[in-house]
Amino acid sequence: MGRPPCCDKIGVKKGPWTPEEDIILVSYIQEHGPGNWRSVPTNTGLLRCSKSCRLRWTNYLRPGIKRGNFTDHEEKMIIHLQALLGNRWAAIASYLPQRTDNDIKNYWNTHLKKKLKKLQTGVDGQNQDVLSASQQVSKGQWERRLQTDIHMAKQALCEALSLDKTSSLPADSKPSTNLYHPYTTSYQGSTYASSAENISRLLEKWMKNPSKTPQTNSETTQDSFNNAVATTGSNSSEGAASATTPEGFDSLFSFNSSNSDASQSMSVDETTTTTTTANLTPDTSLFQDESKPNLETHQVPLTLLEKWLFDDGGAQGHEDLINMSLEDSATLF
DNA sequence: AATTCGGGCAACCGCATCTCC
DNA sequence: TGGAGATGCGGTTGCCCGAAT
């Protein structure tokens, strides 16, 4: 057998994180930047395994995370992307930069699945296709489907990417979460909440003095978030939602959402792209770059998928696709 | 008011993939 | 080039809380 799970080690703590642990973790990351998770428990004295630290950071403590209610727009994107990509939550999350894959996965399992099922039972026939399509794709068959019906897939993703451009966020889409108050929803109890303020202060400090750690992909992304937040002059408590504002979201997706924008922004060699596209296999090349887009500079390299989409005039029929019903989306497969 | 039930979500587990030596 | 370790990802579990009885 392989090596035992790191969490099996004696003395490794499991279960919910305490505010104190959060503060320790945030402080450490403030100083050293995210990454090198293996060294985190050792250097901080946290009785947690490295994976637990990483998970806690990426799903909860990381700045820029939007929590709480999903907007209609986000819902639509998730539904379409799930139909397209299957249960590749990390890939889906890369198109919803403020949401974590865990969040999206939970939302899908607890809300959207039911919604789709309701549709299925409510209107037999057409909508059944939606569900069956999703289920099939979930089983990993999306690769083959993408290959056999690749053009339709392009259109669908194009639509998903451009939804934001055409639909303003609903009025009730106000951020329901505070960026740096991770406990507001679940832990409104006094102890945890007050500790969250400490974390907020730590993060605030961090926002003003981002760490200068070696750049990995994820760290680059992280710094982008940091800078994006910092440049909006956000305060950890009052302006916590700055990075989660619709404006920020719009700016991100406006970059992706029109051909003209895309053509201006990306410097993709036509020949290279074509060659790449020709050799794409969905599971390898296509999604190899799924890091979150850079909020600050708009100089984000498009993912290969996006390049591929825009390169092929995938924007045709955007308007139709935008209004595409769930039934219609099923026909993509 | 007490108990039961179900939903939602944070966190864990194990496999897959990547990176380094 | 192969192996070991590190990291990423998706499925699943278990706890907490609110609604229902």
- Band (pLDDT 50/70/90 cuts) for residue A50 is confident
Q: Of A160, A144, A158, whose CA–CA distance to A80 is shortest?
A: A160
- Say which residue, A78 or A225, is predicted with more confidence: A78
Between residues A102 and A229, which one has the greater pLDDT?
Answer: A102
How far apart CA A283 and CA A272 sit, in angstroms, is: 19
Q: At residue A107, what is the residue type?
A: Y
Measured from the CB, is A3 under 7 Å from any atom of strand C? yes
Q: What pLDDT does residue A123 have?
A: 57
User: Of A180, A174, A232, which is closest to residue A201 (Cα–Cα)?
Assistant: A180
The protein side of the strand B contact, defined by CB less than 7 Å from any of its atoms, consists of A 2, 5, 7-8, 13-17, 48, 51-52, 55-56, 59-60, 67-68, 102-103, 105-107, 109-111, 114, 185-186, 283-284, 288
Task: With beta carbons less than 8 A apart as the criterion, state whether A184 and A105 touch.
Answer: no
pLDDT tens for each residue of A123-146: 554 444 444 444 443 333 444 444
Q: Which of A39-48, A165-174, A295-304, A313-322 has the highest mean pLDDT?
A: A39-48
| Residue A191 · residue A19 · CB < 8 Å | yes
Greater pLDDT, A147 or A40: A40
* Cα gap A85→A282, rounded to integer Å: 9
User: What does the block give as tokens for A82?
Assistant: 């799930």
- Chain C positions with an atom below 7 A of a protein C-beta are 5-12, 15, 17
pLDDT at residue A44 is higher than 50 = yes
Confidence of residue A162 (pLDDT cuts 50, 70, 90): low
| Residue A43 binned pLDDT confidence (cut-offs 50, 70, 90) | confident
Of A60-64, A107-111, A133-137, A276-280, which one has max mean pLDDT? Answer: A107-111
pLDDT of residue A319: 36
In chain A, % of residues over pLDDT 90: 0
CA of A77 to C1' of C11 (A): 22
- Picking from A126, A137, A135, A160, the residue whose alpha carbon sits closest to that of residue A328 is A126
User: Is the separation of the CB atoms in A10 and A191 below 8 Å?
Assistant: no
Of residues A303, A157, A171, A296, the one with CA closest to residue A246: A171
Confidence of residue A85 (pLDDT cuts 50, 70, 90): confident
State which amino acid sits at residue A63.
Answer: P
For the segment A67-78, what is each residue's pLDDT rounded down to a tens digit?
777 888 888 888
- Res A115 pLDDT > 50: yes
CA distance A1 to A6: 14
Q: DSSP E strands: which ranges in A65-213?
A: none
pTM, 2 dp? 0.56
